[in-house]
Amino acid sequence: MSLTFASAEGGPSIPLHVVDSDSYEAWRDAQTQSARTYLIATGFKPTIGKSILIPDASGAPVMAVAGFGTPQTRARGRFALAAAAATLPAGTYALVGTLPAGDLETEALGWLLAQYAFDRYAKSSGATAQLICPPGVDAAKVEAMAAGEALTRDLINTPASDMGPQELEDATRALALNYGAICTVTKGAALLEQNFPMIHAVGRAAAEHRAPRLIDMRWGSEGPTLTLVGKGVCFDTGGLNLKPGGSMALMKKDMGGSATVLGLAQMIMALNLPLQLRVLIPAVENAVSGDSFRPGDILTARNGLTVEINNTDAEGRLVLADALAFGSEDNPDMILSMATLTGAARVAVGPDLSPYYTDDAGFVSALETAATSVADPVWRMPFWEPYEKMIEPGIADLDNAPSGGFAGSITAALFLRRFAKDQRYAHFDIYGWNPTPSPARPKGGVGMGARAILAALPEVLSL
């Protein structure tokens, strides 16, 4: 699916006026008499999600009007222009003037994202309203962000029957081929030979054609080094601590961390940012068989730490631990992990916000500013040192699932930090799913935090 702007040379376009509630009457009164009469007669109100085509005497559209609402209604959502775009008939539109408020580049991105539809199994309705890139908007940047987000959504939306570890590897190899990156894979028994024991333990119960693996993609030869680690649990049954049916329904999205780092990687490579990028994805299926790892087992991680398994459904942190330990051996300038890791994070902040953990004040400052500017909200959570004792069971160095249920997202983040080896590190505990449709964000898989990170990178890495 191509989420791109329409060509200005592609034929006639319909002038599009974006009007908010505060300025609507003054704007309406300044239009031609026929336009004023039509707007009054139809009772048009410039609320978010409302639009109208104004015809000439022959019935052909001479202009379109999109509602932009009030500051209060815009504050309660994102992508107000996309809401109007979804109500406009198919055609090519050219923005007249600028927006009454808000960021034009972000609203243009929302328009492109509103064109997204997951149509692999059921074809979408087809034609949509197309926008000519507004003056002053960096078309290449916006289109790169839209394409990266579309990749993330497609990967998450694909059911596990068609998105297992092999298919996730295939998607990474295709991305690498497209941008001249190098992709290597360590698979099956080779994981033990090359010291990735926890990735192997979590994925060893799966069928042979869905064998566990570590996917390693590298791109770029100059500039600061950035390593992205994404959880790639392609389906999570819970293992021997089997999930109930209701909790298993969305587990195709448990590879949302890997999907998000691949979408971010595509953005970085498409924009040719001057950095050296590495993407690590531990890709597994947490299946049930006679070879499943068990509650009570003690595993030894790549970095030598021992981990007591108190719940096989806390498997994501295990595979991430080996990947983080591996990634930190290169001493990158920044290492980021992204994972659909804990239900506790969803309880804390809901599905819209991307909770993240870091001790890096410079990263916090850059990310918080960037997140606001690109409508990709984040929320900082604490690496709360007093909870370290909760992940230390005594019988082993670490506990993968502390009892009691308190601070589940924090203890998971503290667990992962043990494997980042004092690197400049941030961890994102994302949801990766939009449970209800909203402008530019249909129900289903969704990228979280990637645009904010992309916008923050120039300051974070001094690009």
pLDDT for 308: 98
Nearest to 231 by CA among 196, 255, 250, 265: 255
- pLDDT for res 10: 76
- Per-residue pLDDT tens, the chain, 463 aa: give them: 579 999 988 778 999 999 999 999 999 999 999 999 999 999 999 999 999 999 998 999 999 999 999 999 999 999 999 999 999 999 999 999 889 988 999 999 999 999 999 999 998 777 789 999 999 999 999 999 999 999 999 999 999 999 999 999 999 999 999 999 999 999 999 999 999 999 999 999 999 999 999 999 999 999 999 999 999 999 999 999 999 999 999 999 999 999 999 999 999 999 999 999 999 999 999 999 999 999 999 999 999 999 999 999 999 999 999 999 999 999 999 999 999 999 999 999 999 999 999 999 999 999 999 999 999 999 999 999 999 999 999 899 999 999 888 999 999 999 999 999 889 999 999 999 999 999 999 999 999 999 999 999 999 999 8
The residues that are catalytic are 243, 317
Maximum alpha-carbon separation in the chain: 83
Beta-carbon-side half-sphere exposure of residue 41 (alpha carbons within 13 Å): 7
Q: What is the pLDDT of residue 74?
A: 95
Backbone angles phi, psi at 294, to 5 degrees: -120, 155
pLDDT of residue 176: 98
Q: CB-hemisphere CA count at 13 Å for 295?
A: 12
* Dihedral angle sign, alpha carbons of residues 191, 197, 200, 204: positive
Q: What is the pLDDT of residue 136?
A: 94
Q: What is the pLDDT of residue 123?
A: 84
- DSSP symbol at 119: -
End-to-end CA distance of the chain: 31
User: Strand 91-95 relative to strand 14-19: parallel, antiparallel, unpaired?
Assistant: parallel
> Do the beta carbons of residue 164 and residue 210 sit within 8 Å?
yes
CA distance readout (Å), 207 to 188, 211, 286, 305: 11, 6, 11, 28
| b/e burial code for range 187-201 (CB count within 10 A of at least 16 → b) | beeebeeebbbbbbb
DSSP 121-167: SS------EEEBPPTT--HHHHHHHHHHHHHHHHHHHS-TTT-SHHH
Q: Do 392 and 398 meet the contact criterion of CB atoms below 8 Å apart? A: yes
CA distance 296 to 299: 10
User: At how many degrees (to 10) do helices 256-270 and 450-460 cross?
Assistant: 50
What pLDDT is recorded for position 269? Answer: 98
Place of tokens 């570890």: 165
Beta carbons of 336 and 228 less than 8 angstroms apart = yes
Q: Measured between alpha carbons, how far is 132 from 100 in angstroms, rounded to an integer?
A: 18
What pLDDT, on a 0 to 100 scale, did the predictor assign at position 437? Answer: 96
d(CA 123, CA 26): 43
User: Which residues have CB under 8 Å from 147's CB, separation 6+?
Assistant: 2, 3, 266, 267, 270
Please state the pTM of the whole predicted model.
Answer: 0.97
* 179 Cβ contact partners less than 8 Å away, ≥ 6 residues apart: 219, 266, 269, 270
What's residue 454's pLDDT? 98
